[in-house]
Each structure stands twice: as structure tokens, then as C-alpha cells.
Amino acid sequence: MKNQINLSVPKPCQEKWSNFDKTEIGGYCSSCQTNVIDFTVMTDDEIKAYFRSGQSSGCGRFLSHQLRDYNLSSTHNSKWSWIPAGLLSLLLLGQQDAEAKIYKKVQMEQQDTSFSLSEKPMLQGHTLRGTVVDEDNEPLPGASVYIKGDSIGTVTDIDGAFEFPRSVQVGEVLVFSFIGFEHKEVKIKENMLESLEVMLVMMEYDIMGEVVVVGGYQASTPWYKRIWNALTPW
């Protein structure tokens, strides 16, 4: 058995946490007549210590990023471990594919218009380049970047970088979005026209229900016991 567990809530509960009677460990659900442990107030180390001690929870309340893999023998946690790597890859690919189709359609519609370039209203602005990163300053590939109230936009490349497809003006509002993160609006100012770095914050929401724990903790055997077990196989 590996020193690793995965926490999940396959069937989230629809009860409201605000209706629960508060207890020392969280809240009491009168519908299920059970105590619900509030893990949202715990740190990663506290959650690992709880399950390392051999305890299990019937029902718990978690923040979305807390339902993931935990290495019980290490304090290191990958920031992306809140969601399985395979699912994350699918989401990113789906996000990029969807955004690419949207903006390809927009570009085709613009090319099909009957107006010539000289007849279109031209915006006197500046080309804007920038990057989109997360709270750990890691790039976010496939993030959407568009002008608020407009259909013009683009997506970031594998390095989280982008170049806006048209000139932007001071006072316009750019909207940045990425799946699993809170949207962010940025009003263009003079000092942003050369380069812009935008940080998106991971979206938080609580999930409540019966906890499924996969894996477990196996305490290491002292060296003298390992030698004794090797010498006395019976």
C-alpha cells in the first residue's frame, strides 16, 4: 500500500451548509442525521495528518481544489493535483479547440463582409502583447482574451503569451478567462500598451458529500524489525 491517497466526492450533497447546526468538527445534517466534517478550514498538512492517523470520514465539506491526490509521506503538493492529470489535459485541449473555432468563425465572418478596409471604421490604438499566469507565476495556455462587448479576441499560446489581433485603445476593457479560474477584467491604461501581465486566481467553491478515499498510509518499518523479519521468516 502506497503512502498516497486520493479524496473525491462522487455524489455531492445538495443540502445547504448554512442550514446545518454547527458542531466542533463542522456541522450536523438533520436530513442524513450525520456529522459533516468541515475540511475547508484545514490546511493540506492537517488534512494529511487526519487521514494518516487512520481516521476516515463519512461526509465532509471540501473546497474544490482539496479533492485531489495527497502524498502522505511528503509535504510537497503539485498545484495541478486538484484535478486528475488526464482530465486536466482534456479540459485544456477542449478549451483551446473551442476558442479556436469561435475566433476562426469570427475571422471568416469578418472576411465575408461587404465593406472594404477603407470603408471600415479604423481604431487608432496600439498593438498589445502580454502573458497570462496563475498565482504561482506559471503560464496558462489556452486562456481567452477579448474586448468586453466585442467579439474580437484571441487565446494564449503554450507559454501563456498572446498578441491581440487588433489595435487597442486606452479605456477599453479586456476580459481574461480560463477554465477553473475567476474571470478578470483589465481596463487599458497608457503604461500597459507595451506589455501586460495578468494573473488569474483559481476559482473556489465548496463540495459536500460522502468522501471516497482511495489508497492509504503504510508506516515505515524500523530497521531492526526489518532485519529480524528477514532472519526469522516463520
Say what the pTM is. Answer: 0.44
Lookup: cell for 103: 475566433
Query: Between these two residues, 192 and 220, which has the higher pLDDT value?
Result: 192
Selected residue with higher pLDDT from 85 and 199: 199
What pLDDT is attached to residue 151? Answer: 80
Q: Per residue in 91-106, pLDDT tens? A: 555 555 555 555 455 4
User: What average pLDDT does range 83-96 have in this prediction?
Assistant: 50
Residue 210 has pLDDT above 90, yes or no: no
Domains and CATH numbers, the chain: 4-82+204-227 (no CATH), 104-112+122-199 (2.60.40.1120)
Structure confidence at residue 126 (pLDDT): 75
153-155 and 144-147: which strand pairing?
antiparallel
pLDDT for res 114? 37
pLDDT at residue 233 in the model: 55
Helix segments in the chain, DSSP class H: 44-52, 85-112, 223-231
Q: Which residues of 146-172 are buried (b: 16+ CB within 10 A; e: fewer)?
A: bbeeeeebbbbeeebebebbeebeeeb
Q: pLDDT band for position 56 (50/70/90)?
A: low
What is the amino acid identity at position 147?
A: I
Q: In what order do the strands lie in the sheet with 69-71?
A: 69-71, 4-8, 212-216
What's the DSSP call for residue 150? S
- Whether 108 has a pLDDT exceeding 90, the answer reads no
Return d(Cα 108, Cα 96) in angstroms, integer.
18
Q: Which of the given ranges, 37-46, 81-90, 156-165, has the highest pLDDT on average? A: 156-165
Straight-line distance from the first to the last Cα atom of the chain, in angstroms, rounded to the nearest whole number: 22
Helix (H, G, I), strand (E, B) or coil at 208: strand
For the chain, give the mean pLDDT. 75
More confident residue, 46 or 55: 46
The mean per-residue pLDDT over the stretch 114-118 comes to 34
